[in-house]
Amino acid sequence: MTILIEKYSAAQLDAVISLLSQAFVTNPLHVAAFGSERIDQNRLFFRIGLRHMFAGQAFVARVNGQVLGYVHFNASPYCLPAPEEIPTVAATVLKPLGEAIPNVINWFARWCHLDPDEPHVHLGPIGVAPGLQGRGVGTALMNRYIEHLKQEQSAGYLETDRPENVEFYQKFGFVVRHQEQLMGAPTWYMWRQRPEDHDALASPPKASG
Ligand SMILES: CC(C)(COP(=O)(O)OP(=O)(O)OC[C@H]1O[C@@H](n2cnc3c(N)ncnc32)[C@H](O)[C@@H]1OP(=O)(O)O)[C@@H](O)C(=O)NCCC(=O)NCCS
């Protein structure tokens, strides 16, 4: 299996909407916000995200030529809309989501509130087509993100709602900073120290004398 990581281009919009909506439709926060099996609402949500919100860097994973994975990351402090911008966002870009709008606002208002003040590069979303999960595509996308953190000497930050993802991110040096129930869904907030600080912690203490 050949996994190729390349920059996302707008021509891949439909393929990415399909893979992300299928990847996330059973995630607890998405079920809490949109209801279960709401592929339609997840498709709308990701279409809005890709067109209006995911303004940082994005990469896709091609497997045997097909676009089957996506990752987006963005430098703080622009990683989420400011709390005061949320009503305007709701009345404009979020409008197609209809009855789910209050849930989406609750969700992102909370994430905005907890977003760290320290400089960081915010990860999300990252998703792999369900049929291909567990075969290294997510790792390849994460490696691209970690490479960026190292280039920029930046800390990393993310939110997640699945315990198996917590373990996945721990493999890349993230630690849980906070955990809570959000709209009834378990949510973990994870932080990765700046590479300099991270490497200093990882390396053995220098011998004295
Ligand atoms: C999380 C995700 C991006 C990981 O990508 P992936 O290609 O499945 O991951 P990899 O194959 O590189 O690594 C597998 C590891 O991821 C974790 N994992 C998380 N979800 C998994 C899943 N559905 N299937 C298999 N492994 C999963 C496991 O810890 C696994 O470790 P292991 O190989 O030691 O068992 C992907 O599973 C996914 O899209 N999940 C649904 C959407 C989602 O939750 N995205 C992240 C939101 S914060």
The strand pair at 185-192 and 57-63 is best described as unpaired
Q: State the pLDDT at residue 99.
A: 95
Q: Whole-angstrom Cα distance, residue 100 to residue 124? A: 20
Grouping H, G, I as helix, E, B as strand and the rest as coil, residue 69 is strand
User: Of 8-17, 25-34, 102-111, 127-136, which gets the smallest average pLDDT?
Assistant: 102-111
Q: Whole-angstrom Cα distance, residue 208 to residue 205? A: 9
Grouping H, G, I as helix, E, B as strand and the rest as coil, residue 194 is coil
Query: Model confidence at 209, in pLDDT bands (50, 70, 90)?
Result: very low
pTM attached to this predicted model: 0.93
Q: Whole-angstrom Cα distance, residue 48 to residue 86? A: 14
Q: How many angstroms separate the alpha carbon of residue 44 from the centre of ligand 1?
A: 23
What length is written for the chain? 209
Say which DSSP state 117 is in. Answer: S
Give percent of the chain with pLDDT exceeding 90: 82
Q: How many angstroms separate the alpha carbon of residue 133 from the centre of ligand 1?
A: 6
Which residue CA neighbors atom 25 of ligand 1 most closely? Answer: 134
Q: Which residues of 27-44 are buried (b: 16+ CB within 10 A; e: fewer)?
A: bbbbbbbbeeebeebbbb
Of 22, 45, 133, best ligand 1 pocket probe by most atoms within 8 Å of the beta carbon? 133
